[in-house]
Amino acid sequence: MLGEEDIPAIERLLRTSEYVYQRFTLSELPLLLKRYPAVGLWNDSTLYGFLLSQIISSSLAWFSGFGVSWTESKEYVSVLSRLLDQLYEPLRSQGVQYFHYSGNDSDNDWLRSLLLGQGFIPYRNLYSYDKFDYKIPTTGNQAVAIRNVDLASDMPALLRIEEACFEDLWRYDPFSFQDIASTHPYFVVAELNGEVVGYQFNALDDDYGYLVRIAVHPSVAGQMIGARLMAEAIYFFERARVSRIMLNTQEDNYHAHRLYEWFGFIRLQQKGFVLRKRL
């Protein structure tokens, strides 16, 4: 099992690997290694392959990162297979029943065919959106207060929103929210009449911005709360001076599609996807 002491070796592979998959920012890496199963392959004291995971609820985990050293590039298929075999038992021991992988381009994702050969099956389709400016069509509902999250008091409301808005695949548990709060530079809640009714968090990677999640409780739908959260998110990205704002959303999340397109996000031609394997 890999730990925080292996961060320099993992970062070296991220910089030099011909075959690498990274679903995390470098600021998130220490926490991933501290909290979730991660496995590696070594040649004496040299790491030549790694595979990271992230558990988001009691029974669901995500394929979080993979890399192979350039010296082992020709063997990347067998390296992946060996790492998966090592990872499954630690995941099962923590109660994980399903392991997921997500990609942004189903036609050109080099890991997709390999994982299909490892027993993963297609599970969900996703759309990807990009935005290249900071223009907003509205500031949303100004009666809504936007403030930084306070997990000590906000956690019950966050979990109620998760339960109401998302299926298990996308639902965060308390540990996941703690991780998000400690690793993401922007995590806010929306209050209406003193009650938390929505939340939003973003990530930054170099000069790219990632709009990871906007959620509003269905009981207050149609009150421009999502637009308020979106406008504040754009302000954040403008202050960070990112060159592109990116997001993924489910293919059938039509309400979210309308919001993103209203705010000037452009749907990309390639389709994202989720693969699943039952452990």
pLDDT digits (tens, 9 = 90+) for 201-237: 999 988 999 999 999 999 999 999 999 999 999 999 9
Q: Return the minimum-mean-pLDDT range out of 11-15, 209-213, 249-253.
A: 249-253
CA–centroid distance for 207 within its chain: 18
Assign domain 133-242 one CATH number from 1.10.3720.10, 3.40.50.300, 3.40.630.30, 3.30.1340.10: 3.40.630.30
pLDDT of amino acid 26: 87
Query: What is the SS3 assignment for 83?
Result: helix
Tell me the CATH architecture of domain 4-96.
3-Layer(aba) Sandwich (3.40)
Please compute the mean of the pLDDT values over residues 47-53 and round it to a whole number.
Answer: 97
Which pLDDT band, with edges at 50, 70 and 90, does 116 fall under? very high
Domains 4-96 and 133-242 agree in fold: yes
Please compute the mean of the pLDDT values over residues 146-169 and round it to a whole number.
Answer: 96
pLDDT of amino acid 254: 87
Burial bucket for residue 149 (CB in 10 Å: 0-12, 13-18, 19+): buried
Helix %, strand %, coil % of the chain (to 5):
40, 35, 25
Domain ranges of the chain: 4-96, 133-242
